[in-house]
Structure 1
Amino acid sequence: MAKILLIEDDEELAGTVSKCLKLERYAVDVVNDGSDGLAFALNGSYEVLVVDVQLPGMNGFDIVRNVRESGSKVPVIMLTGKTHIDDKETGFESGADDYLTKPFSVRELVARIKALLRRPRTFDSDYTIGNLTLNTGSRRILKDGEAINLLPIDHAVLEFLMRHPDEVFSAETLIARVWPTDKFPSTDAVRSSIKRIRSAIDVDGQESLIETISKVGYRLNRT
């Protein structure tokens, strides 16, 4: 299940778009402020960003520019009420992959998202932690070179931890950064997810790569 970040300050439009995307079986996070949207984009694991240009806190051009400067190549679709060619050029120069002018058909947005998800993507490198490798092109996680099968949410949790090795995250932080914002899981759901992940990746007789830090959270150790 692909996860999409929608940064749009028009709450009515954001609600309509979010509802339609969820009907297409996408997980969607909605943020109405530009500065908050940038934080979500940099700290979350998303397959596509949909970013409005005119936002409080930070405009869409600056959001995309910061995302690209971080090294992320996540596909970006920009939304705007502006039709001037200069604005579109600014969007593409910032690093956007596609552009939709308001008003637009949500079906058209869905079609463009699907096209971006089908498009081959290039990345600088994979993430390797112990005997695990996150293939960032296919988003598969390999154990000793063999793909492992995980529930979508478990895959998202493990991918997030692999992208942030040696960092400790509380259960609440994992919920905020990985779970869709319309879900309200308990910390028990996080514990269950970690347990399933460990069952899939741990090697008998060796310590788990995922360490539980008592009363703090979880950390994926490099060694």
Structure 2
Amino acid sequence: MNATHNVLYVEDDPDSIVLVETALENLPQVNLVTATTGAEGIKLAQDSELHLIILDINLPDINGYEILKHLKESSVAFKVPIIAYSSQAMERQKGLEAGFTDYLVKPMEQNKFVSVVKNLLAIQ
């Protein structure tokens, strides 16, 4: 039996959520949980056993960089990989320097997206 990997996706755009759900639907080991605000994402990250977090950078209440900083400084002793997922391709280097495990650019390249998720979760 395969272990379940809990993945949190923090995103305010319903269309982007559907794209990620569709991309991951062929990975039965992945349990995708979504949050539509940064505050909700932080709460879920602190209250749940997660294996990966995917963050939109531009959220209505708090940006992805602030969420990353908050989680890294929290008592969770955060070792969960955190991927930035943004339409701002020019910020890739900034995102990696800020501490994101990876920085993926919208629109989604589905094969690359799935490959990165599988690699970080060590799924065959």
Measured against the shorter chain, the TM-score band is: 0.7 to 0.9
The answer to whether structure 1 residue 35 and structure 2 residue 39 are counterparts is yes
The answer to whether structure 1 residue 74 and structure 2 residue 77 are counterparts is no
Alignment of 1:92-131 (within 5 A): 92-118=96-122
Q: State which drifts further: 16-25 or 63-72.
A: 16-25
Check whether the contact 1:22–1:28 (CA below 8 A) recurs between aligned residues: no
- Secondary structure at 1:77's aligned position in 2? strand
> Which of the pair has the greater relative contact order for Cα pairs under 8 Å at 6+ separation?
2
Identity %: 28
The answer to whether structure 1 residue 17 and structure 2 residue 23 are counterparts is no
State the TM-score, normalized to the length of structure 1: 0.49
Instruction: Tell me which residue corresponds to 1:205.
Output: none
Task: Give, as a single letter, the amino acid of the residue that structure 2 aligns with 1:34.
Answer: G
Of 55, 71, 77, the match for 1:51: 55
Task: Give, as a single letter, the amino acid of the residue that structure 2 aligns with 1:6.
Answer: Y
Deviations along 1:144-178, one digit per CA (max 9) or x if unpaired, are xxxxxxxxxxxxxxxxxxxxxxxxxxxxxxxxxxx
The separation in 2 between residues aligned to 1:94 and 1:39, in whole angstroms, is: 21
Aligned-residue CA RMSD (Å): 1.6
Deviations along 1:93-140, one digit per CA (max 9) or x if unpaired, are 332100111112222111101111239xxxxxxxxxxxxxxxxxxxxx
Alignment of 1:197-212 (within 5 A): none
Tell me by how many angstroms 1:34 deviates. 1.2
Runs of 4+ in 1 over 3 A off after TM superposition: none
- Secondary structure at 1:50's aligned position in 2? strand
Unaligned runs of 5+ in 2: none
The separation in 1 between residues aligned to 2:98 and 2:43, in whole angstroms, is: 17
The separation in 2 between residues aligned to 1:61 and 1:90, in whole angstroms, is: 10
The separation in 1 between residues aligned to 2:49 and 2:7, in whole angstroms, is: 9
State the TM-score, normalized to the length of structure 2: 0.86
Task: Give, as a single letter, the amino acid of the residue that structure 2 aligns with 1:9.
Answer: D
Tell me by how many angstroms 1:64 deviates. 1.0
Larger Rg: 1
Question: Cα distance 1:90–1:39, how it changes in 2: closer, same or farther (>3 A)?
Answer: farther
The separation in 2 between residues aligned to 1:106 and 1:7, in whole angstroms, is: 18
- Secondary structure at 2:89's aligned position in 1? coil
Instruction: Tell me which residue corresponds to 2:89.
Output: 83
Aligned residues: 117
Tell me by how many angstroms 1:62 deviates. 0.8
Alignment of 1:142-157 (within 5 A): none
